[in-house]
C-alpha cells in the first residue's frame, strides 16, 4: 500500500546525494509541474481556447492540434534551467540542444492521443530520460535499456502520473486541493491472467498473419484454441490503454500493417514505445515488436516507428510464439481458410 508521499518526497528519497539521480529527480519534478498545467488545459477545454483544431502537421505527417502545440510549449518551458543536454519531441523535426554538458537528456510525446482531444476522452503525456553519451548526436540512438527513467501522465477522470526510476513502477494521483501528485499505488504489478485485448480492429485485413491468428483466437472465445471468452477495449490513446493494463492486465497491440506508411506500425520508438516498454517491464509485464524485445532496439532515426505489443507477459509471449509457429500460415489462419481468401 502507499503512505501518501508526495512525488517530490519520493524523488528526494530516490536521489539522495547522487548528482545523476538528482538531475533525474529534478527533471521528473519539472515534468510533473508541466503535466499539471496541461491537465488544467485539458480540463478546461473550450474555456481555455482548446478546440482540437488542426494547426499543421508534425514531423511525422500527423495532424497537429492546438493542444499538441500548447503541450509542447509547456514541456519545453519546464525544462529551462535544468541539467538537460538535449530535448526531443514528437512535435519537432530536430533535437533541441539545451545544455550540452548536462548528464541527461529527455524525449517527450507532449500529447498522446491527439485525435481524442475534441471528444473529451483521455489523453496524456509521455517522458523518457536517457543519459547523455559522449557524442551528443547519439543521444536518442540508444536502446531502451539505457533509459534512466520513464513516465507518463494520463488526463482522465483523474490525472495520474506513472513513473519508473528503474526499480518498479509507482502511480501518483493529482491531489487537486494541494496541486501535488501523491503516491496512490506503489510497486504496481501487471496482473498476468486477464482476458482483455486492445487493438484497432478496423485494420485487421492489413495485419500480418501472426497478429491475425492471435486476435482470431481471442475472437473465437470459448469455442476456439484459448477456450475462454475475451473482451475488447480500444480507446485510441495509448496512455489510457497502458494505464488500464497496469491496473487490470491485458494486451495492447499496434502492429505493423500493409497500409502505406504503416510498415513499422504507427507508434514512435524513442518517445512512445521505449518509455512504455520500460514501464511495462518494470511492472512485470513485457513489450515486444512481436519478433524482438522492444527495449533492445537501438533507434536509427529520431521519429522512427516501431510495431508495439505490450502488456501481461504471458500474452506478449504468446503473440511472439505466433511469429515463430510454423503452423501459423495463411492457409491455417481461421478467417482466411473460412473465407478462402488464399485459395485459388
Ligand atoms: P499521437 O501521439 O499522434 O496521438 O498518436 C498515437 C496514438 C496512440 O495513442 C494510439 O494508440 C494510436 O495513435 C491510435 O492510432 P489509430 O487512430 O491509427 O488507431
Ligand atoms: Mg503519441
Residues 158 and 206 in one domain: no
What gap in Å lies between CA 129 and CA 271, rounded to an integer? 10
Residue 332 lies in a domain: no
| Interval between CA 344 and ligand 2 midpoint (Å) | 41
The predicted structure's pLDDT at residue 2: 63
Mean pLDDT of the chain: 93
Q: Is pLDDT above 70 for 5?
A: yes
**Ligand positioned closest to the Cα atom of 126:** 2
Question: What pLDDT, on the 0 to 100 scale, is given for residue 82?
Answer: 98
Do 73 and 212 have their domain in common?
no
Who contacts 171 (Cβ-Cβ below 8 Å, separation ≥6)? 160, 161, 162, 163, 183, 184, 185, 186, 188, 246
158, 212: one domain = no
Do both 179 and 303 map to the same domain? no
Task: Give percent of the chain above pLDDT 70.
Answer: 95
Encode pLDDT of 267-291 as tens digits: 999 999 999 999 999 999 999 999 9
pLDDT at residue 317 above 80?
yes
65 lines ligand 1 (CB under 6 A): no
Tell me, yes or no, whether 61 lies in a domain. Answer: yes
Identify the domain boundary among 185, 220, 255: 185
49 with 117, same domain: the answer is yes
Closest-CA residue, ligand 1 atom 17, reads 236
What is the rounded CA–CA span in Å between residue 292 and residue 297? 8
Residue 332 pLDDT more than 70?
no
Distance 229 CA to ligand 2 centre (A): 30
Q: Looking at residue 24, what is its pLDDT?
A: 98
Query: What pLDDT, on a 0 to 100 scale, did the predictor assign at position 100?
Result: 96
Q: How confident is the model at residue 27 (pLDDT cuts 50, 70, 90)?
A: very high
Residue 51 has pLDDT above 50, yes or no: yes
pLDDT of residue 57: 80
**Does residue 78 share a domain with residue 32?**
yes
Distance of CA 191 from the midpoint of ligand 2 (Å): 25
The answer to whether residue 238 is domain-embedded is: yes
Residue of the CA atom closest to atom 11 of ligand 1 = 238
Please tell me the distance between residue 338's alpha carbon and the centre of ligand 2 in angstroms. 36
Residues 132 and 208 in one domain: no
Mean pLDDT of 191-212: 95
Task: Read off the pLDDT band of 233 (50, 70, 90).
Answer: very high
Does residue 200 sit within a domain? yes
pLDDT for position 256: 97
Using the predicted structure, report yes or no on whether residue 238 has a pLDDT greater than 90: yes
Q: What is the CATH number of the domain that holds 16?
A: 3.30.540.10
Residue 313: pLDDT over 50: yes
Per-residue pLDDT, 239:
98
| Cell reading at 33 | 509541474
Are residues 153 and 260 located together in one domain of the fold?
no
59 pocket-lining for ligand 1 (C-beta < 6 Å) = no
Q: Is residue 333 one of the residues assigned to a domain?
A: no
**The pLDDT of residue 52 is above 70:** yes
Would 297 be classed as within a structural domain? yes
Task: Name the band, by pLDDT with cuts 50, 70 and 90, for residue 340.
Answer: very low
* Closest among 91, 87, 88 to 55, alpha carbons compared: 91
How large is the average pLDDT for residues 295-309?
98
Residue 344 has pLDDT above 60, yes or no: no
Please tell me the residue having the least CA distance from ligand 1 atom 7.
113
| Domain limits for position 164 | 7-185
* Distance from the alpha carbon of residue 238 to the mean position of ligand 1, in angstroms: 7
Looking at the fold, whether 261 and 149 belong to one and the same domain comes out as: no
Residue 338: the pLDDT is 42
Alpha-carbon distances of 289 from 224, 252, 277, 296, rounded to whole Å? 25, 11, 10, 11
Binned at pLDDT 50, 70 and 90, residue 192 comes out as confident
**Residues 278 and 147: beta-carbon distance below 8 Å:** yes
Q: Is the confidence at residue 339, as pLDDT, over 50?
A: no
Strand partners, 174: 181
What is the tens place of the pLDDT at every residue in 55-71? 778 777 777 888 999 99
Residue nearest to atom 15 of ligand 1 (CA): 236
Indicate the pLDDT class of residue 336, thresholds 50, 70 and 90. very low
* Cell reading at 91: 512535435
Domain final residue pick, 147, 166, 185: 185
Same domain, residue pair 32 and 168: yes
Residues 203, 172 within the same domain: no
Indicate whether residue 113 lines ligand 1 (CB < 6 A). yes
- 190: how many CB neighbours lie within 10 A of its CB? 26
Q: Is residue 334 part of a domain?
A: no
Q: Which residues on neighbouring strands pair with residue 175, listed in sequence order?
A: 180
**Same domain (yes/no): 212, 175:** no
Q: Which atom of ligand 1 is nearest to the CA of 202?
A: 19
The total number of structural domains in the chain stands at 2
Burial of 34 (0-12, 13-18, 19+ CB in 10 A): buried
Mean pLDDT of 27-43: 97
How much distance in Å is there from the Cα of 195 to the middle of ligand 1?
23
CATH number (domain holding residue 266)? 3.40.190.80
Instruction: Quickly list DSSP for 195-242.
Output: -EEE--GGGGGGB-HHHHHHHHHHHHGGGSTT-S--EE---S-HHHHH
* pLDDT (mean) for 176-180: 95
Query: Locate cell 492540434: which residue?
Result: 65
Q: Which residue's C-alpha comes closest to atom 14 of ligand 1?
A: 236
Q: Which of 284, 333, 330, 278 is nearest to 308 (CA)?
A: 278
Mark which of 126, 161, 185 sits at the end of a domain: 185
Backbone angles phi, psi at 163, to 5 degrees: -140, 135
Determine, yes or no, domain membership for 49.
yes
Per-residue pLDDT, averaged over 321-328, amounts to: 91
Amino acid at each position: 500500500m502507499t503512505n501518501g508521499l508526495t512525488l517530490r518526497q519520493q524523488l528526494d528519497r530516490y536521489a539522495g546525494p547522487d548528482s545523476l539521480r538528482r538531475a533525474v529527480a529534478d527533471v521528473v519534478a519539472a515534468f510533473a509541474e508541466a503535466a499539471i498545467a496541461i491537465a488544467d488545459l485539458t480540463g478546461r477545454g473550450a474555456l481555455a481556447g482548446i478546440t482540437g483544431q488542426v494547426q499543421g502537421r508534425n514531423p511525422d505527417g500527423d495532424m497537429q492540434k492546438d493542444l499538441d502545440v500548447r503541450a509542447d510549449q509547456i514541456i519545453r518551458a519546464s525544462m529551462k534551467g535544468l541539467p538537460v543536454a538535449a530535448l526531443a519531441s514528437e512535435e519537432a523535426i530536430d533535437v533541441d540542444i539545451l545544455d550540452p554538458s548536462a548528464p541527461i537528456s529527455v524525449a517527450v510525446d507532449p500529447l498522446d492521443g491527439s485525435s481524442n482531444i475534441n471528444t473529451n476522452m483521455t489523453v496524456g503525456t509521455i517522458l523518457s530520460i536517457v543519459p547523455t553519451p559522449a557524442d551528443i548526436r547519439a543521444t536518442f540512438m540508444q536502446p531502451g535499456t539505457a533509459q534512466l527513467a520513464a513516465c507518463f501522465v494520463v488526463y482522465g477522470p483523474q490525472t495520474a502520473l506513472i513513473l519508473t526510476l528503474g526499480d518498479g513502477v509507482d502511480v501518483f494521483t493529482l491531489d487537486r486541493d494541494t496541486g501535488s501528485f501523491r503516491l496512490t499505488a506503489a510497486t504496481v504489478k501487471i496482473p498476468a491472467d486477464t482476458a482483455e485485448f486492445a487493438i484497432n480492429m478496423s485494420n485487421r485485413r492489413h495485419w500480418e498473419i501472426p497478429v491475425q491468428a492471435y486476435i482470431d483466437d481471442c475472437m473465437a472465445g470459448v469455442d476456439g484454441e484459448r477456450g475462454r471468452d475475451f473482451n475488447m477495449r480500444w480507446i485510441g490513446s495509448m496512455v489510457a490503454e497502458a494505464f488500464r493494463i497496469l491496473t487490470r492486465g491485458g494486451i495492447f497491440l499496434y502492429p505493423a500493417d500493409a497500409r502505406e506508411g504503416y510498415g513499422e506500425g504507427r507508434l514512435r520508438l524513442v518517445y512512445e514505445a521505449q518509455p512504455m516498454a520500460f514501464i511495462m517491464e518494470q511492472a512485470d509485464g513485457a513489450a515486444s515488436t512481436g519478433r524482438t524485445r522492444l527495449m533492445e532496439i537501438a533507434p536509427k532515426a529520431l521519429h522512427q516507428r516501431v510495431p508495439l505489443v505490450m502488456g501481461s507477459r504471458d500474452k506478449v509471449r504468446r503473440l511472439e510464439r505466433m511469429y515463430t509457429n510454423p503452423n501459423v500460415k495463411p492457409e491455417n489462419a481461421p478467417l482466411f481458410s473460412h473465407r478462402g481468401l488464399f485459395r485459388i
